Amino acid sequence: MKKIGLLLFNIVVASLLAVAMGAPAVFGVGIGLLSGFMPGLPSGAFGMAVQKEIWENDIVPSLFADNSFLKFAYNADQYVLAGKVVHIPQAGAAVGTTKNRTTLPGVIVQRTDVDVTYSLNEFTTDPVLISNADTVQLSYDKRTSVTAEMRSNMNQAVALDMLRNWAPTNPISILRTSGAAVPAHLDGATGNRMALTMNDFRAVNKLFNKQNIPTSDRYALLDADMYDQLLSSMTPTQYRDFMALVDPATGAIGKFMNFTIFQRDKVLKYDNGVGTGCAPLDWTLPGNATDNAAALFWHVNSVERAIGTVNFFERIADPTYYGDIYSYLLRAGGRIRRNDSKGVAVIVQSPSA
């Protein structure tokens, strides 16, 4: 009965394909019948293997769909070499200009250009086994579900690593929250922290203005708790104006003080260094009682992202595992584009009694 069911499935699929290509349906029926007697051809849907090109091309778009904030950064993909390293020629200090020069000859100077080079991190998923492949082929959604979950996990890892690359360490770019006491919300963190407020946003806006950062294309990324704290500090009128600027097309959840705001489950965490002397922490490290959440602010041309090699691996009908094995590989990286960190800032939680 199983073979009859598989044969009928092949006949239906072949007939639909024949009609789609303009051929008589009977031609597809013949092909479907023939498939049942062809040696070596896997049963069911003509042995539908994963089209690697389709899956590989789907990884990067899904990365930006799940983490839309990544689209609003300088794209350095064109400078990726061999899928592994970013190499960007960068102009040195600008040549000076003198008004009404009185001393001749002028001093000859030479511009010294530099190269920006950094390696992309390699992200790989754990290989996933889908056993009993001849049955799975009748339920293609199961394989789709597994690979979608793999992509989702990879996207989360890449996004958190990119945020860590964009986290400033220059004390000038690190501000602290100033609101009322609220419970710490990071895993492992204890005690109270000062809440994020509109005044904290104003402080970042003032910093960017003093740094001569364009008022357009400024962005902010908050976690759910800090976003809720911001909303709580607004008046009803401010809240109404804020929510009027929600843009589902870009994923923006509002705009305030020139900053288009995005939200995700995790953004950044910093240690509890004195004043602005705190440092960013990697999300792969265990949480500490003194960890502080942080909101990230940036201008589109102040941070950079790059995607390198993208691979989808498959081993069909592995004789030792009695099934199909799949995995992903992606190389990605980023940086703050200016050495002085201008155009990038964080608001880090302050401890509170």
- Name the residue among 62, 79, 56 with its Cα closest to residue 334: 79
The pair of three-digit structure tokens given for residue 351, joined into one six-digit string: 């401890």
State the alpha helices, DSSP H only, in 192-349: 198-210, 224-232, 236-243
Mean pLDDT of 78-86: 88
Which range among 31-45, 113-127, 192-206, 305-319 shows the weakest confidence by mean pLDDT? Answer: 31-45
Question: What single DSSP character describes residue 234?
Answer: S
pLDDT per position as a tens digit, 221-260? 999 999 999 999 988 888 888 877 777 777 778 888 889 9
Alpha carbon distance 202, 172 (integer Å): 15
SS3 category, 318: strand
The alpha carbon of 162 is separated from its chain's Cα centroid by a whole number of angstroms, namely: 7
Q: How far is CA 113 from CA 75, 89, 301, 338, in A?
A: 21, 7, 20, 15
State the alpha helices, DSSP H only, in 95-139: 133-136
- Per-residue pLDDT for 164 more than 90? yes
pLDDT per position as a tens digit, 116-154? 888 999 999 999 888 765 555 555 566 777 888 888 888
Question: What single DSSP character describes residue 120?
Answer: P
- For the chain, what is the mean pLDDT? 81
Give pTM, 2 decimals. 0.75
SS3 category, 268: strand
Confidence of residue 29 (pLDDT cuts 50, 70, 90): very low
